[in-house]
Amino acid sequence: MKLDLAYYHISDVQFGKKTEIRDKVLYIDRNELRSYLLSDKNFSDIKIEIAHPGEMTRIINILDIVDPRKKQSEESEVFPGFIGKLGTVGSGRTNILKNVSIIETGHMKGFFGGILDMGGNGSLYSPYSKNHNIVLIPTASNGVDAITYSKSLKTASLKTSVYLGKASLYLTTDEVRTIDFTLCGRRNTGLEKPRIGYIWQVLSHYELRAIYYYGAKSISFYPLFISPNEIFDGAVVTGHYDHSPPLKNYTYSILNHPIAMELCRRHGEELDFAGIIFTNEPKTVREKKWNALLNAQIAKSVLDLDGVIITKEGGGHADLDLMETCKQCENLGIKTAMIDLEMLSPEGSDDYPLVVFEPEADAIVSIANFEERISISKMDKVIGGKKMNELGEDLKGEKKVPLWLLSGAMSEIGMCKLKGELF
C-alpha cells in the first residue's frame, strides 16, 4: 500500500468569516463549526477557543488530542467506522495540517483529564504546547451518561479534524511523505537486514478505557497483524476517558506514531520492517499469558522476526502483559526492546519501579517517573472548564504537580520530549 501524507504548514490560527487557509494562516468560522457540532443532541452548548504557543494559558480537563486531516479523495475518509464509512485505509493521499491540534475537554464523573500549559515552565514538558490548539469545550445535555457522552466527544473532535482538513483541498502542499508499505508474512529475501516487528499492546478493560480499531473496541479482538499505513490514516483512535494522561495514547500520537514512523523510515536501509502486531491487554492473568503466547507465536512462526519492539498502554498490571510477551519472544529466540514508565515516589527512591519484572527484559527504555513533581507557572487564563479536582481551587496558580497530570509529558509510544541520560 502506498500512502502519501501531504503536510500543510500552518503558522497561525484565527477565527474568521470563512474556514480557509490563506498565507499559511488557518481561519475558522467559529459559528459554522459550532452549529455543525451542535447537531449532536448530547451537547446543550459548545464553546470553541484557540490557545497559541507562548501564551500564559492553561488548558484543563483534556481528554484527547487529534490533528486536522482529510483524505484528498471524496470516495474515502479518515477515521473509518467512526465518522467515515467502514473501509480499509492506508493508501491514497491524506492532507494534514501541521502545527495544529484539536483538544477535547470535558468534566464528568468517570472522566480523567490532563492539563496543558501554553507558556511558562509547564510548557517545556509537552510537545503539544508548540501547536496552535483549537479547544472544544462542550456542555453535556441533561441526563447524558458518561459512556454515551464520551462517544459524542470523540465524534465531535474527529468531525472537527475533517472539517478543518477540508481547508487544505486544492492548495499546494509544503511537504509530502510517501510510505510505501505492503504487509508480507515472509522474510524479504532481497534484504539482508535484521527482520524487525513491533508489538503494540493497548488497554482494553471497559467502555471508558479502550482503543478503537475501525470503530471496534479493543476488548473485542485477538492479536492482529496490521500495516503502519492504517495507523497513519486513522484506523486507530483512542477511546480513553478514565485514565491519566501518560497511561493512554492520544489520537494525535497514534496518527503520528513515532515508533511506527521510525521503523518505516529505516525499512530497507537498516532493517526489514515486517509490520505491527496489534494486541489488547485483557483483565485476567490467564488471558494475559494466553495473549503473550499468541503474540510471540505470530512474531516467530508467521513473521520470522529477529527482533521486536514491544510497548504497552496503561500502568500497574499492564506490566504483566509487557513482561509476559517479552519472555515468550525471548524464549523463541527473538530479541526484544521495550518502552516503559517507572512508578516510584516523587523523589524516585522506591525499590520497585516496575510492578512486574522478568530477567529476559534486558533492554528497556524508561520514559520517566510517573510521580515526579514539577513546578508549573502562574497563568493569565484558563480554558477547558471551571473546575478540575487535581488542581484545587486556584486553577491559574503556580504550584507543584505530578508529571502524570501534564498532557504529553510522558508517552508510552514515544510522543514526548523527555529523554534519559546515562551517568
Q: Band the pLDDT of 131: cuts 50, 70, 90.
A: very high
Dihedral sign of CA atoms 150, 152, 157, 159 in order: positive
Q: In the predicted model, what is the mean pLDDT of residues 162-188?
A: 90
Q: From start to end of 251-358, where are the E strands?
A: 272-281, 307-311, 335-342
pLDDT, position 342: 81
Which pLDDT band, with edges at 50, 70 and 90, does 84 fall under? confident
Calculate mean pLDDT across residues 282-294: 92
What's the rounded mean pLDDT across residues 160-168? 96
Q: What pLDDT, on the 0 to 100 scale, is given for residue 189?
A: 66
Residue 341 corresponds to which amino acid? L
- 404-422: b or e for each residue (b if 16 or more CB lie within 10 Å)? bbbbbbbbbbbbbebeeee
Which grid cell is 66?
487529534
The pLDDT assigned to 419 comes to 67
Task: Say what the pLDDT of residue 358 is.
Answer: 86
Query: Is the confidence at residue 8, as pLDDT, over 60?
Result: yes
Q: Which residue has the higher pLDDT, 113 or 418?
A: 113
Q: HSE, CB side, 13 Å, CA atoms: give it for residue 247.
A: 25
Per-residue pLDDT at 32 exceeds 80: yes
- Give the C-alpha separation, 219 to 321, whole Å: 14
| Mean pLDDT computed over every residue of the chain | 92
133 and 203 in contact (C-beta within 8 Å)?
A: no
Q: What is the DSSP letter of 173?
A: P
pLDDT of residue 421: 63
Per-residue pLDDT averaged across 153-163, rounded? 97
CA distance 313 to 322: 9
What's the N-to-C CA distance of the chain in angstroms?
44
Cα-based distances in Å from 341 to 93, 316, 387, 414: 35, 10, 29, 11
Strand, coil or helix: what is 217? strand
Residue 391 pLDDT exceeds 80: yes
* pLDDT, position 422: 61
